[in-house]
Amino acid sequence: MSKVELPPYVCPYTGNLLAGVDEVGRGPLAGDVVAAAVILDPARPIEGLADSKKLTEKKRERLFDEILERALSFAIARATVEEIDRLNILHASLLAMRRAVEQLSVQPEFVLVDGNRKPDWSYACETVVKGDGRVAAIGAASILAKVTRDREMAELDHQYPGYGLAGHKGYPTRAHLEALERLGPSPIHRRSFGPVKQLAMDLA
């Protein structure tokens, strides 16, 4: 069965202060959820912006540096593991996105949010399903968020060895689940997520 291609997105806003916002890290069992917001500079275009998941690590790293250099404004924010467990992952993701947009040094006139849910805020905005592959600013935000989170998970691998965080980035791979069984949850594991919650209950 072939995938249905979504039509090109046509934004109702035609000015230059358009922010794209996206988050990374809803599915992992460990670590923060990270969001980024980007206002691109029409005078300094960036070639190759796309859904960060469809880019190679090398290309993401190169585009990460280009975005930081050429964007009119960008911000990276997060919701912590504690906030994820308290609020649930959806509301924590929306909180991280709201923080990212609010931290932009240039406030946007319009915001495009990846997905089908938007934060509770006063910005004029629209949601865009699969926006990271359809809107350049959202694609840029997805790259900033993913590279930032991947780097953090590599650092956390040194602090919490044995889980393989640098490789699977906290996602529930077989190796990660086996490490959880062997080592138990670490302080950065999300206690509200099924496999971690069950293991914590078994160890109690």
Please write the tens of the pLDDT for every residue from 21-71.
Answer: 999 999 999 999 999 999 999 999 999 998 899 999 999 999 999 999 999
Look at residues 139, 137, 148 and name the one whose alpha carbon lies nearest to residue 96. 148
Residue with tokens 């919490």: 160
* CB count in 10 Å sphere of residue 71: 22
Question: What's the CA gap between 81 and 89, in Å, rounded?
Answer: 9
> Measured between alpha carbons, how far is 20 from 67 in angstroms, rounded to an integer?
13
Predicted confidence (pLDDT) per residue in 105-119, tens digit: 999 999 999 999 999
Neighbours of 25 (CB within 10 A): 28
Rounded distance between C-alpha atoms, residue 191 and residue 38, angstroms? 31
Q: Note the CATH architecture for domain 18-160.
A: 2-Layer Sandwich (3.30)
Rg of the chain, C-alpha, whole Å: 18
Map out the domains of the chain as residue ranges: 18-160
